[in-house]
Each structure stands twice: as structure tokens, then as C-alpha cells.
Structure 1
């Protein structure tokens, strides 16, 4: 089940058509996921005498700019609208982090009766969450730090075709272990690093980034530190992928613990 937070931006514009002034509003997402389909809501306002507005052609164009500031058209869609309409828009893959949505409304048979609105959409990376789980949060110098890393896409499925960057830093910020091209083809990766006998005491940090998302976990290192909780055996490390029916979606609130079968 995809859990997507949709932020919407409202754009207003005016179409001048002969003796009438016709306004229109555009509700578009502020964020979008490449490869997914989003929607643009266009509402026409105003009347001609006592009659409803004639259908108008509405065109949406999604554009971006490359490093040379050259405009590139990502996708476009058109629809005849009377009153209001929802235009589906498939978001293609793009290396850009932002794109511009252009919405044009024109009266039929009159090229001068047009109006446009513009809004910026931020493109998300392919990874929704990076999860780092250490076996313990307390270590002594000379021990081996063990942890697991996985990445989830926007459908909460394991990411398997991305490269992750992982670093282990000491309290001074020095990276003592580095995994720069870590393949996640196996889904969950187990990593480990041996602490030197003279390792600095204090808070160490595990940082991981993948597909536009990142995570970090702090662990404590010290000769006098003792963990009150034992290390979790690998056999007890669980990842559960939950799939819900339509009836279940109304009773499940993201962010709260899920209890059920």
C-alpha cells in the first residue's frame, strides 16, 4: 500500500473572453514521485449571462531545465473541461529535483482568449525511507559494531536496484569506515566494523543515504559502558510488509502502531 503525503498548491488565473471575464483555479501537488501518476484539478469560474461556460481546452505541461538552462518537456496532457475537471499526469523519470507545471486555458476558436498559471513541483527520489538498525547501541573499544541497512520505496517495498552510501564516524566526525558503492540488490544488508582498542569514547554515528533519502543512528562507545539490553540475534531481525484491502485502509492510520493479523 502506498502511503503518500500530498501537498497541494492553488493557482488562480483569469481568462478574458470577449465581454466576459472567466477565472480559473488550479490545484496541483507540490511534490511528485517519478514513475507515478498524479492529478491536476482545474476549476473554471464565471458565467456568460445566465448560461454556463462553454467547454474550454485545458493543457498542462511539465517542464524542467538542465544544467545549461535549456527547457525540456517532460510530459503534457489536454482535456476539454466544463466547470471543473481532473487531469491525470504521469510523472516520468528525471534527474531533476524540481520541475514547473504550466497550465493553459483557451477559449475555443479564439487564440487570444487564453490564460496561464505556473507552479513548481518537487520531484522525490526513488527511496522513501532508509532504515539503519544496529545490533546494540553500546560498544567497548575492540568490539565489532554490527548493523543492518535497508531502503523502502514509496510503495513500502524493499529497494533492490539502488546504490547506498554508508559511513561510520567517531565523535570528532572522522569517518573510520566507509561503504561508498553499497549495492542493495539483496534487499537487507548486514555490515560490521571493528573498533580499534584505542577507539575514542563518546557518541559515534552511522550515516546512510540512498536514492534521495538518508538516515543516521548514534551509538555509544566507551570502556565503562555496559549495555542493559542484549544484542538482537540476526534470526530475530524481522521486516514485515503489510498489504491492506480497501476496507482496512479506513481503519489504519500511518504513524501509529499496527495491531492485528
Structure 2
């Protein structure tokens, strides 16, 4: 099997088709997206290589109904490369089209076909009211925004927009309203006797598709100030302390001075077969400082952290304003976890190619997915009954990168594991008691099949590529000598770079 063409493709949705024959020395390649959206513009690229005689190239697309469109037609007399844009037919439902490619010489002809999926154009309609709750007599202002699948604004007409009250009575209607730059602004004054409850706005576009949005009308009095409870998102069973903070602020932003009563509980999980377990609660009395906050460091070991018969950590507070006696309440919740560290693999290939470095990353995070920097992590490899291990160190983002030599890998699959602890600590089992968890990562990589034992691999780039700037992409390859034709001294690599 002679190796005539290697193509490096940087987008998985592109289909590659190459054809050669024993009598037809030229080869060609056509790329087109395997999934496209109706009504949009797509790009098709074609290449012909090793041209030894005049050729004619034709690429066409046939719809399920039988209609056909020529996408590219050219006479080829030398090495050829061209990209062309084409309009994807508009469809109402998912449709399949067939792309036909043919190339003709004086005597021989080659052809190939492949199917692509055409999806109907999707649109997104967003409602936004100027506030979620109105008082009777206020004017309801709302906006309808139309976006396409790329989140770009587009104009469309809404045949009907209506407003219904809580009793499903239509109280307002707008007909044939068009967006401007994708936006339609409407408003409706509510009467002072408007029924309190939930109202609904519904819009129908020209296709009959509808979108709705609710808002409420009710009499309400804004609170004089608000109370917020700040506590850790997660508390682990190895923690000893946790800092809780209760803050009060007036609606105009100034801090509230007053006293705070805080009740901290870990409620028992009640089962019909389990009796006698009581909630664990502690009461704290505090005063706000000049910032309007009261801070308390609590001893969380008093809340049976490692016992599974208790629920999450709940806080209820009351703040009383000095001078007025106005009391407002606040609450908060924090979860408990026994997972101390989580290790996972990132950017690891599903297959390895013998002779080409196997590269990947190990990510180490804490209980709330925060990266753990500058810590050792251990990588283990099993290959054909043999074992190897390496000690890596995480960077500031909790990432440890690795590159493994695959020259001696011979088994059909290898197993990788990564652990935070090189030797697992043995915590004795006790009923109802949670043990600290250090989640390890596991990955299996199969040997990449290549009849010729030739390989090419695009290496992972560093970060994201920026527009209008050069980017470096590295490719590693192994080409067996017998793959070259007799007398061939050079090997051409072709690549296609695409973006979405």
C-alpha cells in the first residue's frame, strides 16, 4: 500500500475523501462539513495532486428530492487547489444531502460520494421585562430579542404578541410587529385595579412558533434593609473551623448597625427505622461592625462532620436594627463532603501511536473544584504486565503535564492511573462514618491501528489561537521506508486548517 497523501485536519466535523487507483495516478481530496445549517454559506475545498494528464473535476450536491446543484467544476492541468463558497438549501426538518465528486481523464474516471446532514436554521427568542414584579397601575415594559444559532441578532416579524391576565383573559395585543436590529420594544400600562397574580406575554412568529414570558403584579413594600449570610460553599470532614458572616445593608447601600442572633444547625436525617438522633444546633449572639457585618468563627468539629446520619449545614439569622427595633431574617446553607481531593485526566488521547509521544494532563482540585498548586501527583502505567510510575508536580493551575515514550509499548491497550497519594491511607471501616476521599483517575488507551505502521499526530497547542496572529502547530510522524514509491526521495504533507 503506497502512501500518496497525508492530510492534517484541525476540525473533527470535516469529512475527507481521497481516491487513487492502480491505473489512475492522480489523487484528489475534497473537504466539506459533515453537518451544515440550511440557509447559511459553507465552504468546500478540493485538491488534485500528481496530475499527469488533463482532468475535469466536478463536485455536486444532490438533495433527497432529486434536485442537484453543481458546487465546483474545473479543468485541471496541473496540481490544483481551490476553495469555494456555496449556499446551503433551506430546509424545515433535518435532511440528508449527497455530495458527489468525479474526476475524469482521457480513459479513466474516478468518483466518490458521501452524505452530509442539513439541519434547519435555529432561532432563539428572548423576552426581558424591565423588572420581574410590578405594582397595579405601573407600566409594564418588555423587550423581545431575536438571535440566530450564532447568537447574532436578526430581524423577524411577530404576527401576534399578546398579554394575558391571571384569569387567561387577553388584555392587550400587538399585530405584525417587526424587530429592528433584532430588538422589539413594547409596553402596556396596567390599571390601578389590575388583578394581582401571574401575567403571561406570548409572541408568535411567522412560522407559528411561540415563546412566552411571565411576570407578577402584586402590592409589595420594599424592605428597609436586606440581610445576607456568607458561609463556605463546602465544608469537608477534615475542617476544624469555618467563618460565618452576616451582613445588613440599607436599600441605598449604607451598612446597618444592630444585633444579630444566629442559629447554626446540622439537622439529623430521619428514617423510620432510626430513632433517637437529634439535630445538632448552636446559638450565637453578635453585633455588626461599622461595615454592617458580624463575623463568627465556629468550631465545626462539634457538628459530627464525619457522620452520615446528618444533613447539610444550615444557618438562620435575625438582625435587629438599633434604635428602631426593625427585625429582618436571613438564611444560608453549606454542604458537607468527605471528598478532599479529586484527580482527573485532561486532553488524553483515546489511542496511542507506537513511537510517538503520548501526552496529556492531570488536574488536581480541592472540594469546590479549586486547583491545588505545587503539589505532587503520581502517575502509574501498566503495559504488557509491566508497571512504571512517575512523580509529577502541579503548576499554579493545579495541572501536571506528562509526555510518555511509547517506543516500547506493544500491548493492544495500556492503562493509566493518577493518584494524589502514592500509597493510599487505610481508614478502617465504621458503620455510618464517612472516611476522607481522595478520588483517583483512570484511563485506558488502545493501540492505534495502522496497517503500514506509519503514523502522524498533531500535538496539542498551547492555549487558544488568536485572530490575525500566527500560531504554531507541531506534528510528529513516523513513516516507514517501504511506504515510499521507488525512486521517491520526498514526501509531501498536506494540511487543512478550519475554524468554527
TM-score by length of 1: 0.54
Q: Flag the 1:185–1:107 CA change in 2: closer, same or farther, 3 A.
A: same
| Contact 2:37–2:121 (CA under 8 A) maintained in structure 1 | yes
Question: Structure 1, unaligned stretches of length 5 or more?
Answer: 1-6, 230-248, 252-261
**Equivalent residue for 1:183?**
177
Instruction: Name the CA distance, whole Å, in 2 between partners of 1:138 and 1:72.
Output: 54
Q: Once the two structures are superposed, what CA deviation does each residue of 1:184-231 show, in whole Å capped at 9, x if it has no partner? A: 1766544334658464535x55454647898654433333375999xx
SS at structure 1 position matched to 2:67? strand
Looking at structure 2, the residues matched to 8 and 179 of structure 1 have their Cα atoms a distance apart, in angstroms, of 47
How many residues were matched structurally? 209
Q: Give, in whole Å, the separation in 1 of the partners of 2:223 and 2:32.
A: 52
Q: Please report how far the alpha carbon of residue 117 of structure 1 lies from its aligned counterpart in structure 2 after TM superposition.
A: 1.2
Residue 220 (structure 2) aligns with: 224
Answer whether contact 1:59 1:79 (CA < 8 A) is retained: no
| Structure whose alpha-carbon radius of gyration is higher | 2
| Match 2:83 to one of 76, 81, 86 | 86
Change (3 A) 1:110 1:87: farther
Taking structure 1 as reference, are residues 88 and 71 closer, same or farther at Cα in structure 2, changes over 3 Å only?
Answer: same
RMSD of Structure 2 on Structure 1 (CA)? 4.8
Q: Which region of structure 1 is more displaced relative to structure 2, 137-146 or 72-81?
A: 72-81
1:28 aligns with 2:22: no
CA contact (8 A) 2:56 2:73 kept: no
Q: Report the 3-state secondary structure (helix = DSSP H, G, I; strand = E; otherwise coil) of the residue aligned with 1:71.
A: coil
Q: Partner residue of 2:268? A: none
User: 1:158 & 1:11 partners in 2: Cα distance?
Assistant: 30
Change in Cα spacing, 1:14 to 1:75, as seen in structure 2 (3 Å) is: closer
Deviations 1:117-140, CA, capped at 9 Å, x for gaps: 111122426xx6545332322113
What's the CA shift for 1:31?
Answer: 3.1
Distance 1:145 1:250 in 2: 45
Q: What displacement does 1:116 show?
A: 1.0
1:11 and 2:5 correspond: no
Residues in 2 aligned to 1:194 and 1:149: alpha-carbon distance in whole angstroms: 17
Distance in structure 2 (CA, Å) of the matches to 1:166 and 1:216:
10
User: Which residue matches 2:457?
Assistant: none
Question: What secondary structure is seen at the aligned counterpart in 2 of 1:113?
Answer: strand
Name the residue aligned to 1:102: 99
Tell me the residue number matched to 2:373.
none
* Aligned partner of residue 59 in structure 2, secondary structure: strand
1:39-188 equivalences under 5 Å are: 39-43=43-47, 52-53=50-51, 57-61=57-61, 63=63, 65=64, 70-73=65-68, 76-80=71-75, 82=79, 84-91=81-88, 94=90, 96-99=92-95, 100-110=97-107, 112-124=109-121, 130-141=125-136, 143-151=138-146, 159=155, 162-168=157-163, 176=170, 179=173, 181-184=175-178, 188=183
CA distance in 2, matches of 1:75, 1:211: 32
For 2:143 and 2:71, locate their aligned partners in 1 and report how far apart those are by CA, in whole Å.
42
Q: Is the 8 A contact 2:61 2:70 kept in 1?
A: yes
- More deviation in 219-228 or 83-92? 219-228
TM-score by length of 2: 0.32
